[in-house]
């Protein structure tokens, strides 16, 4: 059986991850990873010099390429374009296909994460809420990072189709008096307050700032002045920082439960993104699960939907590889 040689990229404003792998047709994980590399995105003015450097000396043909991009994707394959949110790169799939001599497809970064769910092994998941997953039922994947990404996974034929959403921008609503105060605090600053304003890296910073204001305190420990304030707050041995992280985990559970209800995700809720795996011990302490199931008359419904944390940090790259392999296989059979 002919192996498919596919190239995948996970492109963000800070870093670009590249991986070249071989797939058996129909497989969900690569048979063999041939090479991989990490580049500082800002060191390059365009993706092509970066790809040329990565593929230098490799003359074997490619069967497919998928670029997972942190930004909106326009059009349908093979005539897609993409604009990176935090990079000046203008990506054109047809231009890249001509340069690489292989079909190129673009995927939103969180859409690629959604595809990667199908390829995960059991040891790449940590269960936060135990319940039997139903086969052929919708799934939802969400992830707090720079923003709050959400994708829906809908069963179709023998696999899941992935639909990216902008559900992170749904209106935030407080679940108790403290959260009502958080909403009022952020509304005074931003006007519209979405869930992304509270469940994301910047969201953790917003929560910490609110608790300071709520208590009439100042940032005496200088956490807000750190190069990465969210990471500093998450790791600080400080009572107010700990309170901010506890509220963050409760809000993470609340939006996860909302999304589980929105699509009746009886196939499971998956937490990906850059934060969940890093704060896993905090997510396991109970605040997340309490808020996840605290849905009034709908509690029995969400109690019947499992929640898992994705612990594979390269799930976006894995999903992009899978997209490239599926497209290459489809084109070879058409």
Query: CATH number for the domain including 224?
Result: 3.40.367.20
Q: Residue 1 — pLDDT band, cuts 50, 70, 90? A: low
- Residue 227, Cβ neighbours under 10 Å: how many? 6
Asked whether residue 107 falls in the same domain as residue 195, the answer is: no
Beta-bridge mates of residue 22:
5, 32
Closest CA to 268 of 139, 180, 157, 169: 139
Q: What pLDDT, on the 0 to 100 scale, is given for residue 161?
A: 94
What's the average model confidence in pLDDT over 162-169? 93
41 CA to centre of own chain: 19
Q: The domain containing residue 197 runs over which residues? A: 123-311
Asked whether residue 301 falls in the same domain as residue 325, the answer is: no
Beta-bridge mates of residue 143:
149, 272
Tell me, what CATH number does 112's domain have? Answer: 3.30.420.40
Closest CA to 318 of 150, 60, 34, 120: 120
pTM given for the model = 0.93
Asked whether residue 291 falls in the same domain as residue 149, the answer is: yes
Structure tokens at 31: 């048979």
What's the average model confidence in pLDDT over 238-243? 96
Residue 137 has pLDDT above 90, yes or no: yes
Residue with tokens 């790449």, as numbered in its chain: 124
Question: Torsions phi, psi of 59, nearest 5?
Answer: -105, 0
Percent of the chain topping pLDDT 90: 85
Asked whether residue 86 falls in the same domain as residue 139, the answer is: no
Q: What pLDDT, on the 0 to 100 scale, is given for residue 327?
A: 92
Q: What pLDDT, on the 0 to 100 scale, is given for residue 332?
A: 79
Beta-bridge mates of residue 193:
none
Q: How far is the C-alpha of 112 from the C-alpha of 76, rounded, in Å? A: 15
pLDDT, tens digit, for every residue of 36-75? 999 999 899 899 999 999 999 998 999 999 999 988 899 9
pLDDT, tens digit, for every residue of 196-224? 999 999 999 999 999 999 999 999 999 99
Structure tokens at 324: 């490239």
What's the average model confidence in pLDDT over 138-146? 95
Question: Torsions phi, psi of 91, nearest 5?
Answer: -100, 135
Q: What pLDDT, on the 0 to 100 scale, is given for residue 84?
A: 81
pLDDT, tens digit, for every residue of 280-317? 999 999 999 999 999 999 999 999 999 999 999 999 99
Q: How far is the C-alpha of 228 from the C-alpha of 151, rounded, in Å? A: 27
Residues 252/120, Cβ–Cβ less than 8 Å: no
Asked whether residue 189 falls in the same domain as residue 99, the answer is: no
Asked whether residue 133 falls in the same domain as residue 236, the answer is: yes
24 CA to centre of own chain: 26
Mean pLDDT of the chain: 94
Asked whether residue 72 falls in the same domain as residue 165, the answer is: no
Asked whether residue 110 falls in the same domain as residue 240, the answer is: no
Cβ neighbours of residue 3 under 8 Å, at least 6 residues apart?
A: 22, 23, 24, 31
What's the average model confidence in pLDDT over 100-120? 94
Residues 109/69, Cβ–Cβ less than 8 Å: yes
Percent of the chain topping pLDDT 70: 99
CA atoms within 13 A on the CB side of 274: 12
Asked whether residue 133 falls in the same domain as residue 43, the answer is: no
Asked whether residue 99 falls in the same domain as residue 155, the answer is: no
What's the average model confidence in pLDDT over 78-89? 88
Asked whether residue 237 falls in the same domain as residue 105, the answer is: no
Structure tokens at 293: 């199931």
Asked whether residue 209 falls in the same domain as residue 100, the answer is: no
Q: How far is the C-alpha of 324 from the C-alpha of 100, rounded, in Å? A: 14
Q: Residue 122 — pLDDT band, cuts 50, 70, 90? A: very high
Kind and range of the H or E run holding 182: helix 177-190
* Cα-based distances in Å from 189 to 173, 182, 185, 210: 16, 11, 7, 11
Residue 333 has pLDDT above 90, yes or no: no
Number of domains in the chain: 2
Structure tokens at 298: 């709908």
Q: What pLDDT, on the 0 to 100 scale, is given for residue 8?
A: 97
């Amino acid at each position: 059986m002919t192996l498919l040689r596919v190239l995948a990229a996970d492109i963000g404003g800070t870093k670009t991850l590249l991986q070249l792998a071989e797939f058996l047709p129909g497989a969900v994980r690569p048979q063999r990873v041939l090479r991989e590399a990490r580049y500082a995105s800002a060191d390059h003015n365009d993706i092509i010099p970066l790809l040329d450097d990565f593929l230098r000396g490799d003359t074997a043909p490619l069967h497919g390429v998928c670029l997972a991009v942190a930004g909106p994707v326009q059009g349908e394959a093979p005539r897609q374009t993409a604009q990176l949110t935090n990079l000046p790169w203008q990506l054109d799939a047809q231009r890249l296909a001509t340069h690489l001599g292989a079909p190129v497809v673009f995927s939103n970064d969180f859409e690629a994460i959604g595809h990667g769910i199908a390829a995960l092994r059991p040891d790449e998941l940590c269960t936060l809420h135990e319940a039997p997953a139903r086969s052929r039922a919708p799934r939802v994947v969400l992830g707090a990072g720079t923003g709050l990404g959400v994708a829906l996974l809908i069963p179709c034929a023998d696999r899941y189709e992935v639909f990216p959403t902008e559900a992170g921008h749904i209106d935030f609503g407080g679940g108790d008096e403290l959260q009502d105060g958080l909403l009022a605090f952020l509304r005074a600053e931003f006007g519209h307050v979405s869930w992304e304003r509270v469940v994301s890296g910047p969201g953790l910073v917003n929560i910490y700032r609110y608790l300071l204001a709520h208590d009439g305190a100042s940032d005496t420990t200088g956490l807000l002045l750190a190069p990465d304030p969210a990471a500093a707050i998450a790791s600080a041995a400080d009572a107010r920082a700990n309170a901010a992280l506890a509220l963050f985990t409760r809000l993470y559970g609340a939006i996860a439960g909302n999304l589980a209800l929105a699509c009746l995700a009886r196939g499971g809720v998956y937490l990906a993104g850059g934060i969940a795996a890093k704060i896993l011990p905090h997510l396991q302490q109970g605040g997340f699960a309490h808020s996840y199931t605290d849905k009034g008359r709908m509690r029995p419904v969400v109690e019947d939907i499992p929640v898992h944390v994705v612990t594979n940090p390269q799930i976006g790259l894995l999903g992009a590889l899978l997209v490239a392999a599926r497209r290459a296989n489809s084109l070879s059979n058409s």
